[in-house]
Amino acid sequence: MQTPWEYRYAFRTQHMSSSVIRELLKLTEQPEIISFAGGLPAPEVFPIQRFREASNTVLENFGPQSLQYSTTEGHRPLREMIARHISRFSSEVSADNVLITSGSQQALDFVGRLFVNRGDFIVVESPTYVGALQAWNAYGAQYIPVRADEHGMIVDELEAALRVGPKFIYVLPNFQNPSGSTLSLERRMQLVRIADKYGVPIIEDDPYGQLRYEGEHIPSIVALDSEYRGPNGGHYSGNVIYLSTFSKLLAPGLRLGWVIAPAEVIQKLVLSKQAADLHTSSFNQYIAFEAAKGGFLDEHVKLIRATYKERRDVMIEMMEEMFPASVSWRKPKGGMFLWSILPEGMDSSEVLKRAVEKKVAFVPGEAFHPIGGGKNTMRLNFSYSSPETIREGITRLGGTLKELIADK
């Protein structure tokens, strides 16, 4: 008898769906399509020569160790490097507060596995990162969206959401995906105080924090929370679980992310990781440590910033020239995305259909809104395409928008 698979799946699979972004990435396989859809780093900035040298060094000096099973927590020198980096910005963090994950998307899944029961509420910005929603939908999460503007989550509206009793607050404070907004220092401090008042943890997702192109650095929420609580012997024990990644700084193919959290939370996350994949690739961790050390990463990030700033500026210049006056957008101070708002009544999913006919793609904004809305918004990625390709792609997209608005 052929197994009727649909009756064998766990109930939670009913809440699992493919990411709209992953599906749209398939368009990039068509060479004639100019895609602003994916959140892809520029391959031109991958430090290939540095990786080649690091690989040779690792294999020559640490070959057996780098190819062997390892500890679940991760390669200790790499964890110590991350702890030192975070501690530069006033956080009290030790290696015992750090867990290496197979990309920060895995960390999001572990957060859901650890904290979310079916029906639990999570406070999120609206719009928010669709990958987080995808991770937590599988655990039956419900969402309480809090409005956001160009300065991030409107924290003044947060207290009402916290009275519902959510499991945690999820924010992307720096150059948010998808909106590009940055949570102001005042709101970060307010968020730390309110979370402490209600005893609710904050999940701080920070993949883009080092990709700032203008303005002053703003301390992370985990750093502000550490300051708020005062000295603790070099260990972090506050309200924040901080997530970040090497995907935007070195290369996404490494699949290396990390979590910073109180040691008791790290211990629980370690159990989740043991059940999932035992540990993150030993070899990739050795390579990342060898490639990043000696100040290389700080210097390399300067190249990434210069490259992406140029592409952001070209995209904005072309949007100003080619988009209809009724279409608006925000200028991000960093990151990889531009958020555009179409006239009321327009549906960006319908715009995408026409745009693909003209061989250009983007992500419709509705997917980033956890309980619906945002039909007239769209996300554009500027990091992946060359300036010349951006000019051509925005010309095509601008023509599409002009045609559709003229038809209304």
pLDDT higher than threshold 70 for residue 184: yes
Mean pLDDT of 260-280: 97
Rg (CA), the chain: 21
Architecture of domain 5-47+298-407: Alpha-Beta Complex (3.90)
CB 153 within 8 A of CB 171: yes
Q: Which two tokens mark 196?
A: 């402490």
pLDDT higher than threshold 60 for residue 45: yes
Q: Which two tokens mark 217?
A: 């650095």
Residue 164: Cβ-neighbour burial (10 angstroms; 0-12, 13-18, 19+) = exposed
pTM of the model as a whole: 0.94
> Whole-number mean pLDDT of the chain?
93
- Residue 62 CA to residue 68 CA, distance in Å, equals 10
**Residue pLDDT, tens place only, 224-244:** 999 998 877 788 999 999 999
Phi-psi region of 103 (alpha: psi -120 to 50; beta: other; left: phi over 0): left
Q: Which of 107, 161, 113 has the alpha carbon at shortest distance from 140?
A: 113
Give the H or E element holding residue 373. none
What is the three-class DSSP state of 402?
Answer: helix
> Quick one: pLDDT at residue 18?
65
Give the type of residue at 169.
Answer: I
CATH 3.90.1150.10 in the chain, residue ranges:
5-47+298-407
Please name the residue that has the structure tokens 């690091």: 54
- Residue 46 CA to residue 28 CA, distance in Å, equals 19
- Residue 174 CA to residue 158 CA, distance in Å, equals 18
pLDDT higher than threshold 90 for residue 17: no
- Residue 274 CA to residue 150 CA, distance in Å, equals 40
- Residue 297 CA to residue 299 CA, distance in Å, equals 5
Q: Where does 68-294 sit in CATH, by number?
A: 3.40.640.10
pLDDT higher than threshold 60 for residue 331: yes
CATH 3.40.640.10 in the chain, residue ranges:
68-294
More confident residue, 405 or 71: 71
Reported in sequence order, the residue ranges of 102-205 that DSSP labels E, i.e. its strands, are: 121-126, 142-149, 152-153, 168-171, 202-205
> Quick one: pLDDT at residue 41?
97
- Residue 296 CA to residue 312 CA, distance in Å, equals 24
- Residue 159 CA to residue 62 CA, distance in Å, equals 51
